[in-house]
Amino acid sequence: MAATPEALGGVSEIGSLLVSVSEEDARRQLADVREPSDLYARTRIVHPGHLLRFADSILAANVLLPPWMHVSSRARFFGTAGWGEQLTVRAIRGELFERKGHRFVQLDVLLAGARGPVLRVNPYTAIYRPAWVPSS
């Protein structure tokens, strides 16, 4: 479904994903963010920034998006996730609003592994339709 106020307004649960972070992906993330500590590679723990990317992924996996942007998050970590560990990502739609012509969506996102919750992002806020993108 296209990301429109009507489509997003009609759903409360955005969906779910099963994900994991391979060693290759984990090492690429560490290089991309220029992580100075060897802790994540030494202990094979997924970097927190990599976990936050899954909040982006659940939105993009469930609605067709024009150019869009993640604008803010309030993250609360409950534990860690290891490289290769399977995680479930779930999201519930929160508020939809418009500001300066941009259309925003807020989500409540939960990542959980076999040992329980790893990360909750609430609110996760994204512009799903920038003002300069024509409405369909």
Whether 9 shows a pLDDT value over 90: the answer reads no
**pLDDT, tens digit, 9 for 90 and up, residues 29-69:** 999 999 999 999 999 999 999 999 998 899 888 888 878 89
pLDDT in tens, 59-108: 888 888 878 899 999 999 999 999 999 999 999 999 999 999 999 999 99
Q: Closest Cα to residue 40, out of 89, 81, 85?
A: 81
Strand order in the sheet with 116-129: 13-19, 87-99, 102-113, 116-129, 69-77
pLDDT of residue 15: 81
**What single letter denotes the amino acid at residue 65?**
L
pLDDT score for 62: 82
Give the whole-angstrom CA distance, residue 8 versus residue 63: 8
* DSSP states along 23-86: HHHHHHHHHHTT---SHHHHHTBPPHHHHHHHHHHHHHHHSB-SS-EEEEEEEEE-S--BTT--
> From the centroid of its chain, how far is CA 46?
14
Residue entry with tokens 């479904």: 1
Tell me what pLDDT residue 116 has.
Answer: 95
Closest among 132, 136, 121, 122 to 63, alpha carbons compared: 136
pTM of model > 0.75: yes
Strand residue runs (E) in 78-115: 87-99, 102-113
- Report all structural domains of the chain as residue ranges with CATH numbers, in order of start: 5-129 (3.10.129.10)
pLDDT at 136: 58
Convert the pLDDT of each residue in 11-33 to its tens digit: 788 889 999 999 999 999 999 99
